[in-house]
A and B are shown apart, each in its own frame.
Chain A
Amino acid sequence: MSNRLHIGTRKGLFELARSNGVWEIVDVSFLGDPVSAVLADAGGSVWAALDLGHFGAKLWRRDGAGDWREMAVPVFPPKPDDASEDPHPWSLGKIWVIEPGGVPGRLWAGTMPGGFFRSDDRGESWSLNEALWHMPERRQWFGVAGGEQPGINSVLIDPRSPSDIRVGVSCAGLWASTDAGASWKIINQGMYNEYMPPERREDPIVQDIHLLSRCAAHPEIVWCQHHNGVFRSENAGANWYELAAIRPSKFGFAVAAHPSDPDTAWFVPAIKDERRIPVDGEVVVARTRDAGRSFEVLRQGLPHRHAYDLVYRHALAVDETGERLAFGSTTGGLWISEDGGDSWTMPEARLPPIAVVRFAPV
């Protein structure tokens, strides 16, 4: 089990460690600065992406007990004259997700305004995936709530083949490459987006994917928290069916797939979509253990009343055992479970608004 958690917040990066059964903050970095993405590896390295309001997106890495060191950030190429019709800026907005690439040294970064970047030197340098960026369809991507730009929020690397990549985009569906990013196609069928005009609701490219999460041991199983529902795919994201049994509501941002059980996943539902608060002011986690046919509403240890915590898409995490989970909220709530979500405890901390929660792999 992982004994280490990294919490990226609006006011810094907090590291928690478990000792004698108690989770405590053991380190604070970048205090006062917004953290937009975090990645930790089994070798003890941590990457932290900052979203500085004035000075742009930044990326730092710390190796083991060493000092933080600033990395290069992904940079877009000069915008050519014939791209004047492109509705999106050719400039890094923020780094939204960083994932290991399945090859030593390789990382992938999903960004706003929709650029997908690769590093082969552990984040020291980055190159834009030109194939995806130059697809004409990319100009149809549109911005998401809380940001004016489209963003790549999910990066799924097939553990059996690092050349097989799927990215989830808000708002632009699910794009797949089987040749390490040399070519791409949109693949998601079966989703619907009910805020779109009727004739476009089932169009794959307008699907508002909040987050994708894949079962590591069964990579063909992918779960999606979509803007207007939760969906499951049994063929690696090509075909989807809605899980209408989700309770207490179908809106939300976060989803976590069990790492080995293909039938188990967790969600943190909220009232959609203009209000974005928990149903009845009660923070709950929804868990399915039967592939979405039914859901349990887990509430032991979570606030039962007058709680207005929203959980963002990268703020729910599960460790490699599937027993230990953690999630954080927009009001700084942080809850940890040691029993697959049956019960939750809150570390002694009042944190800033939380954007991202990640376990360090063992």
Chain B
Amino acid sequence: MTTVLFTSALQRFLPAPSTQVEGETVGAALAVVFATRPALRGYVLDDQGALRRHVAVYVNGQPVNDRVWLTDPVGPHDEIYVFQALSGG
């Protein structure tokens, strides 16, 4: 099972607990999470399904290559970390 972790910054707005899911790509794994928590999807992805401009997704500590189609592969022991690039004042 792949682990999906969400930044605590999201917890201000809605529940986003860490989850164990099946999925062969970042997109597939996130889709499983969003299937049970549909409100979370719009916080992470834009209307076309790409990562929001100021949201970052790392797999095992490395940024994903494909922010549009989310095709980066993930395995059963991988950890997907969803967080925000802090900016502004």
Contact = CB atoms under 8 A, between A and B. Distances in A.
A40 B26 CA distance: 41
Given A53-B88, A58-B13, 14 more contacts: A54-B9, A54-B52, A54-B54, A54-B84, A55-B13, A55-B42, A55-B43, A75-B47, A78-B48, A89-B46, A89-B48, A90-B48, A91-B47, A92-B47
A52 B13 CA distance: 10
A120 interface: no
Nearest to B50: A91
B23 to A, nearest CB: 21
B84 A76 contact: no
A75 B42 CA distance: 9
B55 A55 contact: yes
Given A70-B14, A70-B39, A73-B42, A55 B48 contact: no
Contacts of B28: none
Given A53-B87, A55-B84, A79 B55 contact: no
Contacts of B52: 54-56
Interface string A72-107: 010110110000000001111000000000000000
B35 interface: no
Interface of B: 9-10, 13-14, 39, 42-44, 46-48, 50, 52, 54-55, 84-85, 87-88
Contacts of A53: 54, 87-88
Nearest to A60: B13
A12 B54 CA distance: 20
Contacts of A52: 13, 43
Interface residues of A, number: 16
Contacts of B85: 54
A91 B10 contact: no
5 contacts: A52-B13, A54-B9, A73-B42, A75-B47, A79-B48
Contacts of A76: 47-48
Nearest to B87: A53
Contacts of B87: 53
Contacts of A78: 48
Contacts of A58: 13, 42
B89 to A, nearest CB: 10
A54 B55 contact: yes
A143 to B, nearest CB: 16
Contacts of B55: 54-55
Contact of A56 (B9, B42, B48, B88): B42
A91 B43 CA distance: 13
B12 to A, nearest CB: 8
A52 B87 CA distance: 11
Contacts of B46: 56, 89, 91-92
A55 B85 CA distance: 10
Interface string A278-320: 0000000000000000000000000000000000000000000
Contacts of A70: 13-14, 39
A217 to B, nearest CB: 39
Interface string A255-283: 00000000000000000000000000000
A352 to B, nearest CB: 11
B83 to A, nearest CB: 9
Contacts of B39: 70
Given A70-B39, A73-B42, A55 B47 contact: no
A75 B38 CA distance: 14
Interface in A48-75: 52-56, 58, 70, 73, 75
A261 B85 CA distance: 50
B85 to A, nearest CB: 7
In order of increasing CB-CB distance, the 8 nearest A-B pairs are A54-B84, A91-B47, A55-B43, A91-B46, A54-B54, A76-B47, A75-B47, A53-B88
A73 B13 CA distance: 14
Interface in A201-228: none
Contacts of A55: 10, 13, 42-44, 52, 55, 84
A362 B46 CA distance: 38
A54 B87 CA distance: 9
A55 B14 CA distance: 12
Given A79-B48, A90-B48, A56 B43 contact: yes
